[in-house]
Amino acid sequence: MARKALKLASWTSMALAASGIYFYSNKYLDPNDFGAVRVGRAVATTAVISYDYLTSLKSVPYGSEEYLQLRSKIHDLFQSFDDTPLGTASLAQVHKAVLHDGRTVAVKVQHPKVRAQSSKDILLMEVPRIHWDLSTERVLLMEFVDGGQVNDRDYMERNKIDVNEISRHLGKMYSEMIFVNGFVHCDPHPGNVLVRKHPGTGKAEIVLLDHGLYQMLTEEFRLNYCHLWQSLIWTDMKRVKEYSQRLGAGDLYPLFACMLTARSWDSVNRGISQAPVTATEDLEIRNNAANYLPQISHLLNHVPRQMLLILKTNDLLRGIEAALGTRASASSFLNMSRCCIRALAEHKKKNTCSFFRRTQISFSEAFNLWQINLHELILRVKGLKLADRVLALICWLFPAPL
């Protein structure tokens, strides 16, 4: 009975995804909207794989037809091969192995029946140091990258990796993707983001895994999003309203601003870069979220589909910050602003033929970036003064014993 129910659910999920029904709005999907198509496809693929596990694949320990084919050649190809997968997702699963020359590799095995439904995902998957001579259409051998998950504070402390530095670099990396490049890795859960010290240089680095879910932002969306964040960072409420509405928020632009920043409307009005989030504000946001569910649903129904994956990405990044105990600071907002300035200047230069105008734009860009650097320097000086005063107060209250 359970098997019949699962089969029915599998085919129902496939039918819904194939017909292009969109969860929030019941609108048909735009075939060119890769991000939304990828989500729908993942639902169908997962359903098919679930049914396969209970039927034709029930005798296979860890998943795929390809795994059975590999077992007979395992000793020819590898010195050792871990049967238990390191991770399993809707498209593939990954095993750790060692080649006969001593190189440690990651063996990514595509699930059965995925190829026909996910060819576009495979084309967009890029990984470092692929061993093409040992890869097939459904088995990818890659360099094995060791490290700790990005939310593992204990791992970072054991390996003397600066938690705050990692948090800053992660923010910079995603600001570059979203505001400058418009090509965004939209699945930064801790299993897909590793941190380590580079074996050669000893410097801390961030490693992104699983490049199957990217969102390609349209230029119009990316530029409006740049303008909106610039307005939020510099507390230009008139432009916050304007660019929120351009992105489909309508009269719910205050709620939209709160969702993007994860701050209260009062904090947005005072300036999100002026003061860090407090426990009281966090509690206020959590308590109010349930009261605004109808408005949130309405808002999600009207913003561009690209925004849905950006919101999901923002949420995952904030989850990492919460686990590390590092919330967005004034410095991180200034880094976002730098990316926005560069992106908007590049767009202006691209759309003018005048050498004088391009030079003018470049000088304006340089001046704005210099202003941000000066502002950041002032914040650091203030922070040092405050630290000195706190230290002096502690020494006065608790004098050293004679």
Residues 166 and 317: their CA atoms lie apart, in Å, by 12
Instruction: Please pick, among 33, 52, 152, 187, the residue that the annotation labels catalytic.
Output: 187
Query: Count of CB atoms within 10 A of residue 57's CB?
Result: 19
| DSSP letter for each residue of 91-147 | SEEEEEEEETTS-EEEEEEEPTTHHHH-HHHHHT---SSB-GGG--SSEEEEE----
The phi, psi pair for 147, rounded to 5°, reads 165, 180
Cβ contact 340:279 at 8 Å: no
Does residue 187 have an active-site annotation? yes
Residues 156 and 260: their CA atoms lie apart, in Å, by 28
**In terms of residues, how long is the chain?**
402
Residues 338 and 175: their CA atoms lie apart, in Å, by 9
Sign of CA dihedral 107, 108, 111, 116: negative
The phi, psi pair for 361, rounded to 5°, reads -65, -40
Distance of CA 36 to the CA centre of its chain: 16
- Output the six-digit token pair for 90: 């809707």
96-118 core/surface letters (b: 16 or more CB in 10 A; e: else): bbeeeeeeebbbbbbbbbbeebb
Which of 134, 91, 96, 139 lies closest to 116, judged by CA?
Answer: 91
The phi, psi pair for 232, rounded to 5°, reads -65, -45
Cβ contact 83:61 at 8 Å: yes
Residues forming the active site: 187
